Amino acid sequence: MSFKIVVDSCCDLTPSMLKDPVFVKVPLTISSNGSTFVDDETFDQADLLWSMRQSEDAPSTACPSPQAYLDAYQGAGDVYVVTLTALLSGSHNSAEQARILLEEEHPDVVVTAFDTSLDYKKMCRVCDHVRAGLPYLATHPDYNCPTENGFIPDAGAIHAFIHASAFRYPDRIIGKPNEDIIEYLATRVHTQRAQIAMVGDRLYTDIAAGRNNGLKSVLVLSGEATMEDVHKSDVLPHLIFQSVRELGEWL
């Protein structure tokens, strides 16, 4: 089956749709007087009304679980979901959580970025997907991210971890120093590259992006790179300042 249409109790399917495996209903449930009524083909409105009459408490409803949606998504290349609005029911949220779970289990591509919530379980999963040969993209190659308390591992450090386990580096890095982001910038601001300055604190990304793509490159020493790094580097900035503030004063 190439696709499925998954719906919740907001949809009234025709008899022919109920017999068509393309359509899958993930029903809500209603609880009343100790009994549970599922809003599917077994639902009996008369039984529900009788149960409500016997109870002093109001009935309650429950949306489908994310697992119920995840089970319904299986076996199709494309899945189209129709639910009650998220403002009225948790059904939409459950369907969305199931979508996230499905994409994590069966991704089309691996994309790595700076992630402060990264844990060992995530690293194992991404290494499995990279090892399996999925296309592997990255947002940027920076090894460290400067913070008020010093440096913390950035995306480049994550790439090194993945390479050590899965023996692959990203197939393509979208951000600096790749030309893709420079071309986007020049087009966005409608400016010639020679009139754009790339200001940053990393020689291998910020300054390389400027040098390799026809921009002026300005290094600030308030982040990762030091003058010692400059002396050892093959990638040299056009200008060097202690900080962005000093650059502003110079301008």
Give the model confidence (pLDDT) of 92-145 as tens digits.
888 888 888 888 888 889 999 999 999 999 999 999 999 999 999 999 999 998
In words, the CATH class of domain 192-250 is: alpha beta
CATH 3.40.50.10170 domain range(s) in the chain? 3-105
pTM of the model: 0.59
Which H or E run includes 48?
A: helix 45-54
3-105 CATH choice from 3.40.50.150, 3.90.1150.10, 3.10.50.40, 3.40.50.10170? 3.40.50.10170
Query: Roughly what angle, to the nearest 10 degrees, separates helices 91-105 and 66-73?
Result: 50
Taking the C-alpha atoms of residue 19 and residue 40, their distance in angstroms, rounded to an integer, is 13
Q: Residue 87's pLDDT band (boundaries 50, 70, 90)?
A: confident
pLDDT for 82 beyond 80: yes
Q: Residue 156's pLDDT band (boundaries 50, 70, 90)?
A: very high
CATH 3.40.50.1000 domain range(s) in the chain? 110-173, 192-250
Give the model's pLDDT for residue 77.
Answer: 80
Query: Roughly what angle, to the nearest 10 degrees, separates helices 120-131 and 155-166?
Result: 60
110-173 CATH choice from 3.40.50.510, 3.40.50.1000, 3.40.50.300, 3.40.190.10? 3.40.50.1000
